[in-house]
Amino acid sequence: MKKYAVVTGSTGGIGAQVAKRLADDNWNLLLINRSKSKADAQVQELSKTYSNLEFHAYQADFMDLNSVQAAAEKIKSEYDEIHALYNIAGYMTNNLTHSVQGVESQLAVNTLAPYLLTKSLTVRLAKGANLTGGSHVVNFSTSMISSIKGLDISNIATPEKIEGMGKTYAAAKLVVNVFNRALKDELATQGISIFAVDPGPTKTQMTENMVGVPWLFKVLMPLMTKDVNKQTNKLMNGVKSAISSKQSGVFISEGKVKKEHKLADDDQIQKQVTTLLDKLCFSRQPA
Ligand SMILES: NC(=O)c1ccc[n+]([C@@H]2O[C@H](COP(=O)([O-])OP(=O)(O)OC[C@H]3O[C@@H](n4cnc5c(N)ncnc54)[C@H](OP(=O)(O)O)[C@@H]3O)[C@@H](O)[C@H]2O)c1
């Protein structure tokens, strides 16, 4: 039986490593990226190394939910079953910029796109789960969520400014942990487990071009970040171990299950978050 995983941001530092680890484990990959040329090159390279597996590239810019939805619909039209979804694409900025739909760009890329893909592909993941005994969703978060003490859901989509020290980015990632906890029970009834993961400080484009942090932090960053291979191994081992011990909804940081942020378990926050995300993702202006 062929296993299919959808992976976003597979052309990035951690995403490229996750794609290789999945291929090592015999996963066929449906790769969603914004750069068609980078994705095509990656498909060519993976196909050479893993000639027994299928690799397909889909293009989507996560700054535009219509583009994300179109990729999801294309995958749904081509595949009846999917067995895993890795929402890896992520982005950090110190500038207040907006998606095509007018949402703060970090919330759009880090939160809305994964939410839309999770919800849109649930029907295919559920079908995959029926045939394999379980599917899984892995949503990329960060340990930086611990710096967030409160979420102002009413202003999160259109804040007046970007908070320093990556706090707007961290808040967008915390919303990922919140929606993971909110969706886990409903997904479990369909045989789908869901995880939020923090790769830990990892040497990639993102940390090399870190924005919104003091110069000293930038100087120290190369000393604080770790090798992408090692961090990805820890991450994937953590996910595999959570799957084999039948956990779901947990936050896995550097391969180990970590205490979840208390806001992620707040019923009222979960309700506010899912109401907002449903509105932004599914009541938007069509393309
Ligand atoms: N590195 C760390 O220390 C660290 C720590 C905690 C969490 N994380 C999270 O881990 C994930 C992977 O990060 P990374 O370190 O591997 O970063 P990276 O090397 O910068 O890769 C980010 C990926 O996201 C894609 N992406 C960015 N904006 C996009 C958009 N508008 N539409 C579609 N794709 C977009 C990038 O595409 P392009 O290839 O086209 O640029 C790239 O594939 C992210 O979610 C990040 O937030 C990283």
Give residue-wise pLDDT tens across range 172-221: 999 999 999 999 999 999 999 999 999 999 999 999 887 767 788 788 88
Q: What is the Cα–Cα distance from 87 to 54, expressed in whole angstroms?
A: 19
pLDDT digits (tens, 9 = 90+) for 61-115: 999 999 999 999 999 999 999 999 999 999 999 899 999 999 999 999 999 999 9
**Confidence at residue 16, expressed as pLDDT on a 0 to 100 scale:** 98
Q: What is the Cα–Cα distance from 205 to 174, expressed in whole angstroms?
A: 22
**Confidence at residue 37, expressed as pLDDT on a 0 to 100 scale:** 95
**Confidence at residue 212, expressed as pLDDT on a 0 to 100 scale:** 66
Q: What is the Cα–Cα distance from 100 to 78, expressed in whole angstroms?
A: 27
Q: What residues pair up with 192 in beta bridges, in sequence order?
A: 135
Atom of ligand 1 nearest to the CA of 92: 47
**Confidence at residue 286, expressed as pLDDT on a 0 to 100 scale:** 66
Q: What is the mean pLDDT of residues 247-275?
A: 98
In the reported structure, the alpha carbon of residue 8 is separated from the centroid of ligand 1 by a whole-number distance in angstroms of: 9
Atom of ligand 1 nearest to the CA of 203: 1
Q: What residues pair up with 55 in beta bridges, in sequence order?
A: 29
Three-class secondary structure of residue 226 per DSSP: strand
Ligand 1 lined by 7 (C-beta under 6 Å): no
pLDDT band at 165 (very low <50, low <70, confident <90, very high): confident
- Asked whether 40 and 231 are in contact (CB, 8 A), the reply is no
pLDDT digits (tens, 9 = 90+) for 126-148: 999 998 889 999 999 999 999 99
Ligand 1 lined by 88 (C-beta under 6 Å): yes
Mean pLDDT of the chain: 95
pLDDT digits (tens, 9 = 90+) for 65-77: 999 999 999 999 9
**Confidence at residue 234, expressed as pLDDT on a 0 to 100 scale:** 98
In the reported structure, the alpha carbon of residue 9 is separated from the centroid of ligand 1 by a whole-number distance in angstroms of: 6
**Confidence at residue 213, expressed as pLDDT on a 0 to 100 scale:** 72
